[in-house]
Amino acid sequence: MNRKERFRDIFLRGTIWSAIFKGTNLGFSFLISIVLARLAGPTEYGIYIYALSICGILGIPAVFGFGGLLVREISSYQSQMKWQLMRGLIIFTNTFSVAFSMVIALFAITVVWFWEDKWTLQEAITLSIALVLLPLNTIKQIWGATLIGLQRILLSQLFSGVIQNFIFLFLVAIIYIFSLKKIDAPIAMEMQLMAAFFSVMMMWFFLNKSYPKSVKSSTAIFETQRWIKNTTPFLLINGMQILYMQTDILMIGMFKEMNDVGLYHVATRGAMIVTLVYMAVNIPLAPTIARLFSQGELAKLQRIITLVTRATVLATLPLVLILLFFGSTLIVFIFGDKFLGAWDAFAILVSAQFIYLLMGPRETLLSMTAYANYTVIGLTITTFLNILLNYFLIPIWGITGAATATAISGIVGNIFLVYWAIGLSKINPTIFTTLKNIR
């Protein structure tokens, strides 16, 4: 087997296993949505989702963009055998993120109960539990990025989602079966907290096993100033991504009822199925882009990206057609009659996700090359356009307006990213590259 065939075999196996874990995690997440939606109902489910969304927003400064930095720097340090710098980076990011996330969580809990008249008791309790979850979610993201940088991609996926979701479902089943107690928002959040704790403990064990021996025996060297400077693009990218994903939920909660939050989340959760293949392929593709671009192998990189994009679109198209033609029936069958109101938003979001797939790995291409700042600009445009459109459309059309805002802002922002990716990296990430350009 020559070098080219060996690379193709490794990439294919990595993609297949990544798809399996992504599919499993997405399946568990979808099952959690079904279970909680049916057991708790739209309103309690909406409270639970709204609290998680606020926790997600507060996770932006807590993680501080270290996720992307860890993937890039650890991969680089390992290839150059700079074990002392790798150890220093790991110690610094772990210490900073955990401490900062605890400060943020304590402050936010204080704010919640200081202005307790702004919330119902159910909302305040659920949100407080979610804020206790913040440090665990933060360290999970940091350790997950560390595992990816160490080329332990499957372990990262396993403990970043699959294990926690499995434990959560198990705990919910225990509560429901043996106590026959109604699953409301605070109980669901308590189960999420317990699941996160057990998942983080197991992740810690396997992460320690994954560190190279040279890292464990080396003396840490810190380049704190450079790391913080280089983390800025990743902080902004991660922040804008989370803001973009959570804006709808937060603004629906502001303008409408928690019942609408529950309906909309069912629509977004269902639409995420469309991204399964894309997400699975994107994880092993990211370090490949960084390596080939740094080596100047642009023709090879163009060929890989184009073939991957086309395969992703072809694999996803049948699923999109099924969801668009039979989506309303599936929503009623899976979630119940109370969630039929999610159909219009669901159809809009599914269509938007498929349009995004046609544009290829534009964010990853910019982020893994020398042009991460343009990803920040694109996401900033997308996020603020999304906020603006949500502000006007949610009061008029409710969750359909939120889905429309997300679709329009996402398409506009991704067009900018594709334009910059082609112009700066000389790589066309879309499905529309001609065969002549990829030979």
For 247-302, the pLDDT digits (tens) are 899 999 999 999 999 999 999 988 988 987 888 787 778 778 888 888 888 888 99
Domain check: are 118 and 185 in the same one? yes
Residue numbers of the domain that contains 43: 22-222
Q: What is the pLDDT of residue 311?
A: 92
Measured CA distances, 171 to 29, 176, 247, 412 (Å): 14, 9, 30, 42
Tell me whether residue 375 is in a domain. Answer: yes
Q: To the nearest whole percent, how much of the chain has pLDDT over 90?
A: 56
Specify the number of domains making up the chain: 2
Tell me whether residue 7 is in a domain. Answer: no
Domain check: are 39 and 73 in the same one? yes
> Which two structure tokens, joined as six digits, stand for 353?
């996700």
Q: Is the dihedral of CA 263, 161, 358, 323 positive or negative?
A: negative
Contact 70, 146 (CB under 8 A): yes
Domain check: are 52 and 115 in the same one? yes
* pLDDT tens, position by position, 215-251: 888 899 999 999 998 888 788 778 888 888 888 999 9
* Residue showing tokens 């807590």: 62
Cα–Cα distance measured from residue 232 to residue 373, given in angstroms and rounded to the nearest whole number: 9
Q: Is 271 exposed, middle or buried (0-12, 13-18, 19+ CB in 10 A)?
A: buried
* pLDDT tens, position by position, 121-177: 999 999 999 999 999 999 999 999 999 888 887 788 888 788 899 999 999 888 888
Measured CA distances, 136 to 17, 84, 127 (Å): 26, 27, 15
| pTM greater than 0.95 | no
Question: CA gyration radius for the chain?
Answer: 22
Tell me whether residue 13 is in a domain. Answer: no
Cα–Cα distance measured from residue 407 to residue 62, given in angstroms and rounded to the nearest whole number: 28
Domain check: are 230 and 214 in the same one? no
| pLDDT tops 60 at residue 7 | no
* pLDDT tens, position by position, 11-62: 556 556 666 776 777 788 888 989 999 889 899 999 999 999 999 999 999 9
- The residue that leads in pLDDT, 172 or 179, is 172
Measured CA distances, 137 to 50, 102, 244 (Å): 16, 11, 19
Tell me whether residue 280 is in a domain. Answer: yes
Q: What is the pLDDT of residue 439?
A: 45
Q: What is the pLDDT of residue 438?
A: 46
Residue 283 is inside which H or E element, if any? helix 276-294
Q: What is the pLDDT of residue 9?
A: 57
Residue 365's SS3 state is helix
Give the domain-ending residue among 222, 241, 274.
222
Domain check: are 233 and 159 in the same one? no
Contact 396, 403 (CB under 8 A): no
Tell me whether residue 8 is in a domain. Answer: no
Domain check: are 49 and 69 in the same one? yes
On average, the pLDDT of the chain sits at 88
Domain check: are 147 and 197 in the same one? yes
Instruction: Give the CA-trace dihedral at 292, 298, 301, 305, to 10 degrees.
Output: 140
Domain check: are 256 and 285 in the same one? yes
Give the domain-ending residue among 205, 222, 239.
222
* pLDDT tens, position by position, 64-106: 889 888 988 998 888 888 999 999 999 999 999 999 999 999 9
Cα–Cα distance measured from residue 365 to residue 425, given in angstroms and rounded to the nearest whole number: 8
Domain check: are 251 and 236 in the same one? yes
Tell me whether residue 10 is in a domain. Answer: no
Domain check: are 425 and 404 in the same one? yes
In terms of Cα–Cα distance, which of 195, 207, 193 is closest to 163?
195
Q: What is the pLDDT of residue 229?
A: 87
Domain check: are 383 and 277 in the same one? yes
Angle between helices 83-114 and 66-80 (to 10 degrees): 170
